[in-house]
Amino acid sequence: MSFSNISFIRHARVGSTGATLAFLGLLSVPAAAADLEAEDTSAIPPVQNFDTGRFGGVRQRLAGWNVVVGAGAMYAPKFEGSDEFEVSPFPMISATFGERVSVDPSGVTVDVLQSDGFKLSVKGGYEMGRKEDDSDHLRGLGDIDAGGVIGGQVSYAFGPADIYASVDKTFGGSEGLVGKIGANVSHQYDRFIFSAGASATIADDNHMESYFGVSAAQSARSGFNEYEASAGLKRVDVEASVTYMASENWLIRGQVGVGLLTGDAADSPIVQDDIQPSGMLMVGYKF
Residue ranges covered by each domain of the chain: 16-286
In this predicted structure, the answer to whether residue 53 has a pLDDT above a threshold of 80 is: no
Q: What is the pLDDT of residues 198-239, one digit of tens each?
A: 999 999 999 999 999 999 999 999 999 999 999 999 999 999
In this predicted structure, the answer to whether residue 35 has a pLDDT above a threshold of 80 is: no
Q: What is the pLDDT of residue 50?
A: 40
Secondary structure E strands in the chain? 68-77, 85-97, 101-104, 107-115, 118-127, 147-158, 161-171, 177-189, 192-203, 232-245, 250-261, 275-286
In this predicted structure, the answer to whether residue 45 has a pLDDT above a threshold of 50 is: no
Q: How far apart are CA 26 and CA 127, in angstroms?
A: 13
Mean pLDDT, the chain, integer: 84
Q: What is the pLDDT of residue 98?
A: 86
287 pLDDT band (50/70/90 cuts)?
A: confident
For residues 54 and 129, the model is more confident at 129
State how far the alpha carbon of 144 is from the alpha carbons of 28, 173, 231, 254, in Å.
24, 6, 18, 31
Mean pLDDT, residues 86-112: 92
Percent of the chain exceeding pLDDT 90 equals: 74
Q: How far apart are CA 201 and CA 205, in angstroms?
A: 13
Q: How far apart are CA 29 and CA 9, in angstroms?
A: 11
Which CATH architecture describes the domain 16-286?
A: Beta Barrel (2.40)
State how far the alpha carbon of 10 is from the alpha carbons of 14, 21, 63, 167, 201, in Å.
10, 9, 29, 11, 11
Residue type, 127: E
52 pLDDT band (50/70/90 cuts)?
A: very low
Burial of 79 (0-12, 13-18, 19+ CB in 10 A): buried
CA end-to-end span of the chain: 18
User: Residues near 21 by Cβ (< 8 Å), separated by ≥ 6?
Assistant: 10, 90, 105, 106, 128
Q: What is the pLDDT of residue 106?
A: 85
Q: Is the dihedral of CA 63, 67, 70, 73 positive or negative?
A: positive
Mean pLDDT, residues 259-276: 98
In this predicted structure, the answer to whether residue 280 has a pLDDT above a threshold of 70 is: yes
In this predicted structure, the answer to whether residue 77 has a pLDDT above a threshold of 90 is: yes
Q: What is the pLDDT of residues 164-189, one digit of tens each?
A: 999 999 999 999 999 999 999 999 99
CB 175 within 8 A of CB 152: no
Q: What is the pLDDT of residues 102-120, one digit of tens each?
A: 999 889 999 999 999 999 9
